[in-house]
Structure 1
Amino acid sequence: MSLEHQVAEPVIDFKAVARIYPGPPAVHALQPCSLTIDRGEFVTVVGPSGSGKSTLLNVVGLLDTPTQGTYRLDGLDTGAVKEAERAALRSERIGFVFQSFHLLAHRSALENVELAMLYQRVPRPERRTRAEAVLRRVGLAHRLGSLPTQLSGGECQRVAIARALVANPSLLLCDEPTGNLDSRTADSVLSLLRALHRDGMTIVVITHDAHVAAQGQRTVTIHDGVLTEQNLHQEYT
């Protein structure tokens, strides 16, 4: 496959993807759907509780497998690889950001980010260099040695975003990234996501918050496992 062809591939490409949890009764958590997210897009996903957002997140994030259909990530058929290869794809190509920061309380901001590279066999000196660079990128150059207990909620989320970015993933997948933050702090995190998008990062944010959803170029709505789309053509100033 040529480099040009690889670049042209969507980051996410669903073809009739569905997820059914066995019963009885069987739960059709994600109805057959097609979804394409190109490189460099910022897409938000909204829906009420129980609508299927978590199932969609798990399938996109390679934490769960479709019951039917084809999911290609960067052009790779994720259903055609073994579990170890799926785990490697997940680690190398998807950066996760959650509502809860999931930082190790006894480790500094720098160490929390470094640990994300531990299982990728990145040499220790390179781990430190890359962690410092990505923490600078999210505005935390002055907080490298701080513990999570010494950081604000917004700073903790920035550390979590840095940790997600350090492997240079194809996709930043965020699940309610502002859910534990006050409105002012949430806006600062959203500003960071917009800046990352301007730099070319592909971002998918799952949220119940209309203000957060409005940040995307496109919004995907999920209800009773059914996806619909709305084009917003959002431009940042």
Structure 2
Amino acid sequence: MTSRTTQGAAVIEFRGVGLTYPGPPAVQALHPCDVSIAPGDFVTVVGPSGSGKSTLLNIAGLLDTPTQGRYLLNGIDTAALSPSRLAALRGERIGFVFQAFHLLPHRSALENVELAMVYRAVPRRERRTRAAAVLERVGLAHRAAALPTQMSGGERQRVAVARALVGEPSLLLCDEPTGNLDSATSASLLDLLDVLNRDGMTIVVITHDRQVAEHGRRTVTIRDGVLHEPAHRPGAA
């Protein structure tokens, strides 16, 4: 996996980052917080519905702009960037995996992964080669020609992970990635995330499931928009 992190820089660094939606009345979705996530870390974020987990993920994923503080992604101060540069940075550095798979139903697994590179002007032959390689990496080389309607939920989520990885991001953001999966399939997906992390991928998983959270090296708890200091679990890999 290609590393594009500035030498010595955290992948995610929040410096007093907060987000308030204007009113009336104003809503403080995320209170100012400091968070640092190093390259190769695996952080899980837990909290009840409406706690601010999605706000945190949206800021980290450059989908929302904080109203307070500074967010540095790979050492780059995102506040200094134009909307077009933010969009480009998001495409270059961040892979997303959501609870819903968001696959095109009439496109094969290989084509769904290839489509992630279309708007980055990657030549077609290279798209095909890279998509095939990343499907093999997630254990789905044998299902490359299958349509999403012919695949299990776990297989579809692995295609979504492959699509997130094909651009060689420095950060993988997962929003309730096991939410639509049964317990056995969830365990298989989490094993895959563990492997990716051991290979050096920086991963942040948003979840309400404490068992999912146990896969992280660190767990952040958020409630009513207040982030509690990350804790390292003794013995975590």
Q: Distance in 2 between matches of 1:184 and 1:232?
A: 24
Report the number of matched residues. 234
Equivalence for 1:182: 182
> Where do residues 161-200 of structure 1 align in structure 2 (5 Å cutoff)?
161-200=161-200
Shift of 1:162: 0.1
Asked if the contact 1:110/1:145 (under 8 Å) is kept, the reply is: yes
Q: Does the aligned pair in 2 maintain the 1:215–1:234 contact within 8 Å?
A: no
Q: In structure 2, how many angstroms separate the alpha carbons of the residues matched to 1:9 and 1:118?
A: 30
Question: Could you say if the C-alpha distance between residues 191 and 234 of structure 1 is closer, same or farther in structure 2, counting changes exceeding 3 Å?
Answer: farther
8 Å contact kept, 2:19–2:31: yes
Q: Which amino acid aligns with 1:235?
A: A
Structure 2 match to 1:227: 227
Letter in 2 for 1:147: L
The residue that corresponds to 2:214 in the other structure is: 214
Equivalent AA in structure 2 for residue 37 of structure 1: I
Q: TM-score, normalised by structure 2?
A: 0.96
Tell me, yes or no, if the aligned pair for 2:5 and 2:74 is still in contact at 8 Å.
Answer: no
* CA contact 2:13–2:73 (8 Å) conserved in 1: yes
Q: CA deviation at 1:8?
A: 1.0
Question: TM-score, normalised on structure 1?
Answer: 0.96
**Gap change, CA 1:101 and 1:5, over 3 Å in 2:** closer
SS, match of residue 8 in structure 1: coil
* Backbone CA RMSD of aligned residues: 1.4
Q: How does 1:95-134 map to 2 (within 5 A)?
A: 95-134=95-134
Q: In 1, Cα distance between the equivalents of 2:94 and 2:159?
A: 16
Report the Cα offset of residue 4 of structure 1: 11
Alpha-carbon shift at residue 232 of structure 1 (Å): 1.3
Q: Secondary structure at the residue paired with 1:96?
A: strand
SS of the counterpart of 1:129?
Answer: helix
Task: Quote how far apart the aligned CAs of 1:31 are.
Answer: 0.2
Is contact 1:218-1:233 (8 Å) kept?
Answer: no
Aligned residue type for 1:230: A
Query: What is the identity, as a one-letter code, of the residue corresponding to 1:201?
Result: M
Name the amino acid aligned to 2:73.
L
Cα pair distance change 1:233/1:163, threshold 3 Å: farther
Kept in 1, the 8 Å contact 2:5–2:11? The answer is no
Residue 160 (str. 1) matches residue 160 (str. 2): yes
Distance 1:234 1:116, change over 3 A: farther
2:5 and 2:75 in contact (8 A); partners too: no
Deviations, residues 58-86 of structure 1 (Å, cap 9, x unaligned): 10000000001000000000110000000
- Preserved contact between residue 107 and residue 147 of structure 1 (Cα < 8 Å): yes
Q: Deviations over 1:98-135 (max 9, x none)?
A: 00000000000000000000010100000000000000
1:6 deviation in Å?
A: 2.0
- Check conservation: 2:4, 2:170, Cα contact below 8 A: no
